[in-house]
Amino acid sequence: MKKQVTVFKSLFPPESSELEAIRTKAWELSCPSMTLKKRPSSSPATFSGSGLIRISNNGELTFRLFTSWQRNIGDLRWDDKLKAGEIVPEDAFYDLVAIDSQGRKWTASRFLPSLTRSASGKIIAEGKLFGLTYAGRFPREMQLGGSRLSYWFFGNIKIPCNTVTKVTKFVGHGRQESMSIELNVWKFRSCGFDFLLVKESDDLMKVEASTTRNRFPKYFEERVIESLHFLLGYPVPWSVMNVKTGRSVRTVVVGCRTVTVPSQSRLPLPTDLIIDNRTGKLTVAHHRRLFDRFLKHTLSYPKRRHPLWGKLNAVYEASAGTFIDAKALTLTVAIESLLENEFSELGKPSKREQRDIRNAIAYMKEWNGPKRAKDRIGGSLSQLLRSRALDKLRELATRGAISEDEWKAWQALRNPSTHLYQSPHDSTESFIHLIEKVEVLFYHLIFYAIGYKGLYMDISLPDWPIRLYPLGKANASESSGSKH
């Protein structure tokens, strides 16, 4: 039997008309054939019929399926069978396969639909989808090699640019009528991949990564987004993604998600071009280096989300709120977690100190005192065998990774944030300044972990000057500047 090959239509790459429909929340798929199937169980429920998939007013993907099934809905409702506090079982979720009017096959997985009955007695299934995937392979006759990953983002995202887009308009007989040039492209190479970021309009950005190889590393899609988050200082949720590897192609639509750019994002480098006083030219070399080091450091991590992303996201979410105590607490705890993940071997007691501590623990076990007191003292002594966050910070300061002033700022912020949470502050201005110092410490720790050396923006000082990392070198204000 000859294997059927899906021929891609319309969404590879996405046409501007469909992107515009997604952006304006006007995207709608009329589907003559839809199949909704319950996840594997002893008797999976399957619904078939026609319906539609659309983007709602709040930007979410939704579907509605009109079936011909007239079975009792009560037999299919999962929420009526659960007690409060119970986790929804896996066999309560459904998967969807839909064929739209253009013959494109879409799939969605693991969601909970709502089942209702129409006036005629037929079941109507509807609900929210977390993503819609259109996949297949190109025919063998098409000589396609290499891989390409593309994202489309909605929102006025500012990026460093080093290449222009030139548009020339001609009229009859080849006479030039007008020309426009816009600096809206960032083109660079990182970790063996070619990257191209294009500001196609004020509210549309495309990010593309390509290679001559026929596959990307595992979780490469996540690593690119995480690296962008780190560089820009805030999350960049995408709306449409294309992945081409060899002859296989996959398109994913998650809805219309508008990237909200914070008014004062705490990014490690300004998105403006930076002046290199050695050449007197504007450059994005430090932006590329920062992106490259972060991507290289995280690329081989075997799980879907890298721990560094989790810490960056936690700090951002706390910063996006209005409660400054939450930001202070989240920031200090994120640094503790970062120290444990990235510098687990630092700050441990010496072999002699470990021996002495174990001798003290053994002595306490022989002490003929109250059991509760022995347990508490023994537990405290056992903690001495582990390296404390403060010990790690002090050792990093001796290496020049951070400054003494920074770890002292963390210590000053850490204890009040944890033990006096929500208590009034004596000086809001000094409290904010302490947070700013610890934010710089947070970035310096990441710089050291990923091996970055270059410029950064010091938000702990007035006017946020551009300085040079590692510490101890000449200030960037003496050798470099930024374009404003």
Q: What is the pLDDT of residues 300-346, one digit of tens each?
A: 999 999 999 999 999 998 888 777 888 888 999 999 999 999 998 88
Whole-angstrom Cα distance, residue 116 to residue 132?
23
Band of pLDDT at residue 476, cut at 50, 70 and 90: very low
Q: Which helix (H) or strand (E) holds 299?
A: none
Q: CA nearest 258: which of 439, 19, 418, 23?
A: 23
Q: CA nearest 93: which of 52, 128, 123?
A: 128
Which residue's structure tokens are 């390509």?
210
Band of pLDDT at residue 426, cut at 50, 70 and 90: low
Among 316-320, 359-363, 424-428, 448-452, which stretch is predicted with the lowest mean pLDDT? Answer: 424-428
Assess whether pLDDT exceeds 80 at residue 379.
no
Alpha helices in 254-403 (DSSP H): 285-298, 307-320, 324-342, 351-366, 371-383, 389-398
Band of pLDDT at residue 263, cut at 50, 70 and 90: low
Band of pLDDT at residue 12, cut at 50, 70 and 90: low
If one compares 150 and 272, the residue with the highest pLDDT of the two is 150
* pLDDT (tens digit per residue) in 189-207: 999 999 999 999 999 999 9
Assess whether pLDDT exceeds 80 at residue 483.
no
Q: How far is CA 342 from CA 309, 316, 338, 392, 447, in A?
A: 13, 20, 6, 11, 11
pLDDT of residue 5: 42
Task: Read off the amino acid at residue 476.
Answer: A
Q: What is the pLDDT of the chain when averaged over all its residues?
A: 85
pLDDT of residue 364: 79
| Biggest alpha carbon–alpha carbon distance for the chain | 105
pLDDT of residue 480: 45
Assess whether pLDDT exceeds 80 at residue 398.
yes
* pLDDT (tens digit per residue) in 133-185: 998 887 777 767 899 999 999 999 999 998 888 766 666 666 666 666 788 99
> Which residues, 6 or more positions from 123, have their beta carbon under 8 angstroms from its beta carbon?
47, 67, 69, 70, 71, 73, 115, 116, 117
Whole-angstrom Cα distance, residue 215 to residue 139?
18
Whole-angstrom Cα distance, residue 50 to residue 46?
13
Neighbours of 441 (CB within 10 A): 26
pLDDT of residue 479: 40
Main-chain phi, psi angles of 211, to 5 degrees: -155, 160
Assess whether pLDDT exceeds 50 at residue 115.
yes
If one compares 128 and 115, the residue with the highest pLDDT of the two is 128
Residue 303 · residue 411 · CB < 8 Å: no
CA 202-203-204 angle, 5° bins? 105
pLDDT of residue 169: 67
pLDDT of residue 122: 81
Burial call 311-322: b when 16+ CB within 10 Å, e when fewer: bbbebbebbeee
> Which residues, 6 or more positions from 357, have their beta carbon under 8 angstroms from its beta carbon?
349, 381, 384, 385
Band of pLDDT at residue 477, cut at 50, 70 and 90: very low
pLDDT of residue 424: 56
Assess whether pLDDT exceeds 50 at residue 359.
yes
Among 3-7, 99-103, 196-200, which stretch is predicted with the lowest mean pLDDT? Answer: 3-7
If one compares 462 and 481, the residue with the highest pLDDT of the two is 462
Whole-angstrom Cα distance, residue 417 to residue 17?
51
Neighbours of 290 (CB within 10 A): 24
Assess whether pLDDT exceeds 70 at residue 265.
no
Summarize the confidence of residues 362-373 as an average pLDDT.
82
pLDDT of residue 301: 96
Q: CA nearest 123: which of 233, 49, 201?
A: 49
Torsion angle, alpha carbons of 88, 92, 97, 98, to 10 = -80
Summarize the confidence of residues 114-120 as an average pLDDT.
80
Q: Where are the beta strands (DSSP E) in 82-227?
A: 94-99, 105-111, 114-117, 123-129, 132-137, 147-154, 163-170, 176-190, 193-201, 204-211
pLDDT of residue 74: 59
Neighbours of 79 (CB within 10 A): 9
Among 58-72, 219-233, 408-422, which stretch is predicted with the lowest mean pLDDT? Answer: 408-422
Query: Which residues, in sequence order, are bridge partners of residue 208?
Result: 150, 196
pLDDT of residue 435: 92
Residue 81 · residue 94 · CB < 8 Å: no
Band of pLDDT at residue 474, cut at 50, 70 and 90: very low
Q: CA nearest 190: which of 274, 306, 286, 289?
A: 289
Q: What percent of the chain has pLDDT over 70?
A: 83
pLDDT of residue 417: 52
Q: How far is CA 37 from CA 33, 133, 266, in A?
A: 13, 16, 45
